[in-house]
Structure 1
Amino acid sequence: MPVIAHLSDLHVSDLHLSDLHLDGGARSVERVRAVMAFLEDLPYDLDAVLVTGDLADHGRPEEYEVLRELLVSRHPVLVLPGNHDERAALRRVLLGEDAADGPVNRVHRGAGFVLALCDSSVPGRPEGLLADETLAWLDGVVERTPAGVPVLVAFHHPPVVLHTPAVDPIRQFGAERLAELAGRRPQIAAFLCGHAHTPAATRFAGRPLLVAPGVVSTLRLPWERPGPDAHPDLPPALAFHVLDGDGRLTTHYRVVPL
């Protein structure tokens, strides 16, 4: 969901990160710092930097305090919760709001696009679900968006099976409700998510579903050589989403050297 500024035929470009899992250790800090240095070194301004959840590993206030310092950028940084996050602490420390337990839903209206950040987390549970109030909120966001302006919908949990045994049982459930909404709202151009710790691209409700890689680790796929669930030593990665003037969305994945 990060967007690179308007370059010749490019309309919107955004940078998409996920699964930082800041845990109080030096390793996660080093990885986030490397990613932020990479995007700060870009020669053009991004329309947005989207971070699709699992910002902290334990949801502790002190983890968000470190993140608040690490995520400082010249680009607009937009965050939403994952299943490892704690809503009240995220709101108070990162967003500067009163602590509250309801879904953390936010909208970013840019030049020629809208980014709807939906909270798919379920407190105390690893799997995801968009609450009825979140779906009603999203419907209202699209309703208030002028005709012809594309809406990108972001959340943490993928709403489909990705053929990854470690993630599929804790994906987003109740996704038929989101698909029904998308069927009524043709302005929704794509869905963006994280949670899977692997770059992936598929479709949901007839739209692209684009999954960001993990910053903290990369999932081991079932057809790779046997081993731990994750490749802890592979470098962090990110996605660039480019929305052109014809409404065509292109995604580029990039590895960030440590």
Structure 2
Amino acid sequence: MIVIAHVSDIHIGATSSSIDRANAVMRYLDSLPADLDAVLVTGDIADHGVAEEYEEARKLLTSRHPVLVGPGNHDVREEFRRVLLGEPDPGAGPINQVYRSAKAVYAMCDSSIPHRQNPGHLDDETIAWLEGVLEESDLPVFVAFHHPPTLLHSPIVDAIRLQRPEPLAELVARHPNVVAVLVGHAHTAAATTFAGRPLLVAPGVISTLKLPWEGATTPDTCADYDLPPSIAFHVLDDEGRMTTHYRVIQ
């Protein structure tokens, strides 16, 4: 059995409580009595993409569990690389990372568009990189990135979802070892399908996004910062079945 924690949208610097909320999540994970196979953080690490925010995130996003952190639309690739990844001469290319364990492979793709544009995109370099990751192992693969590649029926998020998802869908459909696609960006827990696989959306740490039937009509009125942070636990059992639990962190 594989158990992973899925964390997203911590937005360090967005509010005065952003550090405390992220810290509560990470310390909760460290307090668990059992080891997790991985902790995946799917983007929007910083709110403004500046070095000071990443310095705080670097201190917060530490754990006794393996942690893999990817960018979102609020992140800046160069500062992300320099501060979080420790690259002395950071470039502007996509930040694609892979973590391989004895039981699974975790492919963190960069769906951000430079200059902090809100929609997402997986460029040809990233698709080719992911194809190589999928082809080199028969282990289960979790594909993770920031932007949902399909409609979630949340108009504010749907307007800035992943653009041109067809190459990804074709790639996932060809590789049965992809067991799930994991994303963030929506600031609300959701579960649907993509290319015939589970598409699992992590809730937000910094805030929760209201849905249309809850009164979300504009970006200024949709985010609830009073609700506590939430995360997801994804479980892949020995029969290949995915189960997701969502947990509120008080």
TM-score w.r.t. the length of structure 1 is 0.93
Deviation for aligned residue 1:190: 0.7
Deviation for aligned residue 1:226: 5.7
Contact kept in structure 1, 2:45 and 2:71, CA below 8 Å: yes
Equivalent residue for 2:242, pick from 238, 249, 255 = 249
Number of residue-to-residue matches in the alignment:
245
Aligned partners of 1:158 and 1:121: how far apart in 2? 12
Query: How far does the alpha carbon of each residue in 1:159-217 deviate from its partner, in whole angstroms, 9 at most, with x for none?
Result: 00101011101000110111111121111111000000000000000000000000000
User: Who is 2:146 aligned against?
Assistant: 156
Contact kept in structure 1, 2:215 and 2:222, CA below 8 Å: no
Structure 1: gaps (5+ residues): 1-10
Paired letter, 2:100:
R
Aligned partners of 1:96 and 1:76: how far apart in 2? 17
User: Who is 1:61 aligned against?
Assistant: 51
Provide the identity percentage: 61
Aligned partners of 1:214 and 1:121: how far apart in 2? 17
1:235 maps to 2:228: yes
User: Who is 2:208 aligned against?
Assistant: 218
1:42 maps to 2:8: no
Paired letter, 1:89:
E
Contact kept in structure 1, 2:7 and 2:39, CA below 8 Å: yes
User: Who is 1:5 aligned against?
Assistant: none
User: Who is 1:177 aligned against?
Assistant: 167
**Structure number having the greater strand percentage:** 1
Which structure 1 residue ranges, 4+ long, deviate > 2 Å from structure 2? Answer: none
Contact kept in structure 1, 2:119 and 2:162, CA below 8 Å: yes
Paired letter, 2:54:
Y
Deviation for aligned residue 1:24: 6.7
Residue pairs, 1:1-258, within 5 angstroms:
11-23=1-13, 25-97=15-87, 98-124=89-115, 125-145=117-137, 147=138, 149-225=139-215, 228-257=221-250
Calculate the aligned-residue CA RMSD, in Å: 1.1
Deviation for aligned residue 1:231: 1.2
